[in-house]
């Protein structure tokens, strides 16, 4: 389980993995930068050289753990927050050859190595040795893809959607039980019933 930096750690680790494994023949022929982008950075992305970007466009509560029972007793250990992270891997280039070659390489690399584990996850996430994040390619309808691109400033670019499952975030360590939010006391004289 990760700490609160776990979500950022997954995206950062994915970028670092792709950067580190980009092979030499491609490095020379198709010089490429690798970046984790926020929504605010998309405005200026057209102004930089060839780039492979990883953009987190959606975070969803994991469908398999969302209905697990919650705390009912003070001594129960809280469940971790389990989320799925939805990414667009986009290649920004003015050359069709460069754009398509880098896209094919990235898809092939993630097909060969679809799991991020403690050896590839950045330490900022506070990962435990057994933690693994699975990267799964997903299908987006044309309508869903266009909605994403209509919502951001630059025009459509070749993009490959992936989901990272399951990122489990530790609950707050300092809180052992739910806080008291209200209490009610009644004062009065108890009358004996005879």
**pTM, full prediction:** 0.82
- CA 36 – CA 122 distance, rounded (Å): 13
Q: How many CB atoms lie within 10 A of CB 36?
A: 18
What does the pLDDT profile of the chain (194 residues) look like in tens digits?
899 999 999 999 999 999 999 999 999 999 999 999 998 887 777 667 899 999 999 999 988 776 666 656 666 667 889 999 999 999 999 999 999 999 999 999 999 999 999 999 999 999 999 999 999 999 988 888 888 888 777 778 889 999 999 999 998 765 555 555 666 666 667 676 65
Handedness of CA 18, 24, 26, 27 (dihedral sign): positive
Give the contacts of 86 (CB within 8 A, at least 6 positions apart).
56, 57, 58, 59, 60, 138, 161, 162, 163
CATH class for the region spanning 6-169: alpha beta
User: In the chain, where are the structural domains located?
Assistant: 6-169
């Amino acid at each position: 389980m990760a700490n609160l930096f776990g979500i950022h750690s997954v995206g950062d680790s994915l970028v670092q993995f792709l950067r580190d494994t980009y092979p030499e023949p491609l490095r020379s022929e198709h010089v490429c930068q690798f970046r984790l982008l926020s929504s605010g950075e998309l405005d200026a992305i057209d102004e930089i050289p060839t780039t492979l970007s990883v953009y987190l466009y959606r975070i969803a509560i994991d469908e398999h753990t969302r209905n697990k029972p919650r705390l009912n007793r003070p001594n129960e250990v809280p469940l971790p927050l389990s989320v799925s992270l939805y990414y667009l891997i986009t290649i920004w280039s003015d050359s069709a050859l460069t754009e398509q070659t880098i896209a094919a390489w990235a898809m092939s690399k993630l097909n060969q190595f679809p799991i991020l584990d403690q050896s590839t996850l950045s330490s900022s996430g506070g990962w435990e040795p057994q933690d693994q994040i699975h990267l799964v390619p997903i299908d987006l309808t044309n309508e869903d893809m266009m909605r994403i691109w209509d919502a951001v400033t630059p025009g459509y670019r070749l993009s490959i959607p992936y989901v990272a499952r399951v990122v489990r975030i530790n609950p707050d360590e300092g809180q052992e039980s739910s806080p008291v939010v209200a209490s009610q006391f009644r004062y009065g004289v108890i009358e004996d019933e005879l």
